[in-house]
Amino acid sequence: MKVTFAGTPVELSGTEIHVGDTIADFSAVKNDLSEFRLSEVKGRKLIVAVPSLDTSVCDAEVRRFNQEAVKHPEVTVITVSMDLPFAQKRWCGAHGIENVLTVSDHKDRSFADTFGTYLPNVGLIARSIFLLDENNKVEYVEYVHEVTDHPDYDAALKAL
């Protein structure tokens, strides 16, 4: 799948995800450096993939989903980025992010490969959103065409 990053076309690597697909487990790193596995999370999951929390669009996006998470306690909101766990922990603490679980895919790109979000030559994850049911079946997908743009918040929230 192709997206653009700051206007430059980029072919994403990994497997493109579609509504109806069932997601295999993936691993990442929690902010305390322990391993995260998707299989640890029960119930519905909203996965918000962002390039880096320290950019204005990613900052605004994760803050928005942190606020929306309170309205949907039956859904676990997971933000995945390539940021180091230390940076994620610092950012969450500085911005009062308490309703979103942040995990880092920097170590082995398990998320990026599983969800087809890796931006080769950039080394980041493409902005995307995935809603999974309790059996990890995909209910909603958005790969944001221009990585530096905001996702369609209304469509993602309506899917919830």
What residues are labeled active site? 58
Spatial contact of 127 and 106, defined as CB atoms under 8 Å apart: no
Cα–Cα distances in Å, from 115 out to 1, 22, 72, 112, 118?
11, 11, 23, 5, 8
CA distance 42 to 140: 18
Residue with tokens 């192709």: 2
Contact 97, 62 (CB under 8 A): yes
Residues 6+ apart with CB under 8 A from 64: 153
